[in-house]
Amino acid sequence: MTTPLPPKIILQDRYRVVELIGFGGMGAVYLTEDLHLRDKRFALKEVSYSADLDPRTQKQLREQFHREAIALANLDHPNLPKVFDYFSQDGRDYLVMDYIEGPNLKELLDQARKKRELLPEAQVLEWADQICAALIYLHGQTPPIIHRDVKPANIKLASNGVVKLVDFGLVKIFDSADPRTITLVQAYGTPTYAPLEQYGAGTGRTDARSDIYSLGATLYHLLTGRSPANAQQRFLEPVSLRNPRSLAARISPLTEYLILKAMAIRPDDRYQTVEEMIRDLTMARDVSVGRRTQNRLALVWSSLVPHKWLSLGVLALFIVAVLVTLVQPQPVF
């Protein structure tokens, strides 16, 4: 594992590291200040390479990084961080992108669980709608871009209520004719949220349906408070994935249906496109919002129950007043 950069180190005579934000086997993410732009803050995504890789493989990976960095720099979507720059230094590659202040959805889930609560279904589905918009944009690029690591920790909630799909370290430009689209989970993705094909099982080829699986697993975790069984475990023990409503009965049947369809083991059994998934998501949101409205009305009525006779009296007087108005004879001219 590569040693993280120390605070205050300056890269490219421009980016000063403030602190380490995240760290993993493939590199790290830092909060940095841009000395050329009055200390404007950016997130610096570092990609490092194992010393065990042969020079040819490492060269191919670095060439791939530069191709993908160029593609990312051309992206512009409200639910994605903007990539401003990329460079290499001391055997490591870097992406400079928006720094999104605010918690990620994993942190919000953890906060709710400490209170023995679950995140509201309507809110989670609204976030999912925004992530679907980001994925539709990515998958609609030419060639399509596959994120491959959609999970709660990679979705940040900005102060304006907009969610951003972050961590572009694992993106892949999809080429159906290119066997290098194959990815292995020990190097890419998070097992809990990764589909079986991302483990190298079967064809090992990822496409838009792989992101759909990861989004389904993300929704499962956010709405039930429990991470789902991973795809390998499910392949060996299909019953290891409990139905969401058995863990959180308040989840609507339609929401449960779309989660389980998105998480189908076989890609052909999932939603084939995010556009297809978002149709069911829209209906599930409507159901959830309607239920929330009913709950609010019930709450208002329950607050009136201690004064129900007064409330009914006022209502009766109102009805009488309307009837008197209607039956009064009208003047004849």
Q: Which amino acids are annotated catalytic?
A: 149
d(CA 319, CA 276): 49
d(CA 310, CA 306): 9
Nearest to 291 by CA among 130, 120, 124, 132: 120
